Structure 1
Amino acid sequence: MSGPIVRNYKGGSIVYFEKDKAEDIFVLQKGRVVLTYTNINGVELKEDVKLGEFFGVKSAIGRYPREETAQVIGAATVLVFKVPEFEKFVSDKTHLIIKMLKVFSSQLRQVHRQVREILGQGEAKNPAFELMNVAEVFYKNGNFEHAAYAFEKYIQHYPDGMYIDRAKQLIDLARKKTPFPLTIQELVYKPEPGSQTGKLQEMLKTMAVPASNTTSSVDPNSILSQYDKASTLMNAGKYAEAIDMFKTVSDRTDSVTQEEEQFVENSLFYMGKSSFKAKDYPSAISHFSNFIKRYPKGLLLKENLYHLALATEASGDKEKAKQLFQKVTQMPPMDDSISEDAKSKLKGGRS
């Protein structure tokens, strides 16, 4: 094993981008490196790497895409480890392992606290419910990959859980990137049988205590209600009506929360997708192009560009479509299904 290499960067250089494939681990030897990432609340944060500090560790060891962008400010020198080299390096350095565990543990606690704040939860209910709730929040925000991953973990850890049927239904829809269906009832907390809360509820039932008559009413004019209605119409093949409703959401100019903004963003994409399904390719191209102008860093940017390529191809402009498919293959992550489909189109394969 040859050991780490020294790499010098000029000012403004990017060590790695968010969502890049993670293979290397870095140590800042000289200069300044800033990590830029978006926290679970959707807020962009910056963090300086300290001299002698490792970065890029979690994604490299976990073999998942980078969660942040690392940029050099001024100029910098870093040591670059491959994972096996890094593992060998720290294997007999207990103090380094303990230090990293403390950092990771602190980060996990911060994420957990932020998740609870987003979900509006005070004290814990139960892990099964919380995992399902997190999965559905990701799903409703259009973060299909994270939602599918959370549903998968629920199915794995709670095969006999009370939400298992719901999880199996939603994971299939999330994997297909189908908008959260209006027909699914709101997730309701149910204490596990045998828990103290469950025993109390059972006791109240035997005492004939009347249940609360309050119901959660959903405002039909809320962004979520309109988005759900539009999604249902699109899934039913009523594309013209779906486009009108998605347009109502995308044109909302009133006070929009951070969570609602994701529905506004998604609506512009699904206007294009509905037009594409209706074979109205000029309108589809217009909607997909507007999405790129309005959300150049949107969560659905890559999928939007792929569908723009499909609509362009269907409208007869093969050369421009080819350029768009090529661009899709160059967007991270490079090994997802969208990239594979784009590569297939470039080779003249299936759509």
Structure 2
Amino acid sequence: MPKAVFYKTNSIIYFKGDQSDKVYILNSGKVSLNYEDIESGQELHDLVKTGEFFGTKSGLGRFAREETALVLSDAQCMAFSVEEFEALVLKNIPLILKMLKVFSNQLRRIQKQVQTLLAAEEHVNPENGLFSIGDYYLKKQAYDQAVYVFKRYLVFYPSGAQATQALKNIELAETYAKRYGSGKGPDTPQAVKQSQKAGPEIVRDVEKPQTTKTLSDTGQRYYHAVSLISQEKYEEAFKEFKAIAAEAQDEEFQTKSQYEMGRCLFYLKQFDKCVALYTTWIQKYPKHPDVKDALYFIGTSYLNQKDNVKAVGIFKKVLSMTPESESLYQKTKKMLKQAEGAK
């Protein structure tokens, strides 16, 4: 059965590049589909109207999302699996005609853009495009999304032309998220200038990461190791993270490296070691924002070891800590159902 899912303002339904077979229909609220124009390289925004469907092409085709779906105001969507959506379409001829019209217009627009792009021999710089997306979210005060995108930038371009600025923007977004909360705070990129009008206390908090922090050798090594995980080179990544955790004087990278070591152990199917590492890590950093994800890996490790009772307990704990709007909640709910069914 299709499910009604609620999303809060500034939350993300899915990111560009995500893999999913879900198709959505907007019941209420506002959702924007943000994507990069292949001709100009600029980010475009399509507003989804109430009653319209989105995520259709990638959902039905089972390929990566081509756009990011951002919630502009509290929204309720119906989430369909491919099978559920196909069943709906087969019973609704007007919906089929509407889909054909939408796809036809999109194909004509894309064909025209591609022809223009090829004729001008222009190519969009993916590095700059990714950085621009993070900058967009920072300006829109969507700090969690900005942090996510800038971190992805550092994964793919640890020595990129804007790596140092990406690190500064991460720290700026994290500072504003803690001080103001999502959707609030000074305008950016002139955030520092405006904060000077607000008083010396804010200036100290903002200027320090903006002017003194650079992407160190340790930072470059860390993001290189993260890229090794994306290449499924788990043993190499584990060795690099272990070295960083042992050598780094920066506690932030020590903590992050220890967390990533647990991920490597999980992907290497060394579940006992994964559980032991994350258990120690959580005890040491109980308030770290990745604790929920670490617990998820612990629960999944138990499930792989056929210890379903422990898995159920861990998954329930993760659900109690996680808002329903987060993708982790849906993943954990699915794993909990699997664990309970195997008991």
Q: TM-score range by the shorter chain?
A: 0.3 to 0.5
Q: TM-score, normalised by structure 1?
A: 0.41
The structure whose residues are more often helix, as a share, is 2
Question: Considering only CA atoms, is the larger Rg found in Structure 1 or Structure 2?
Answer: 1
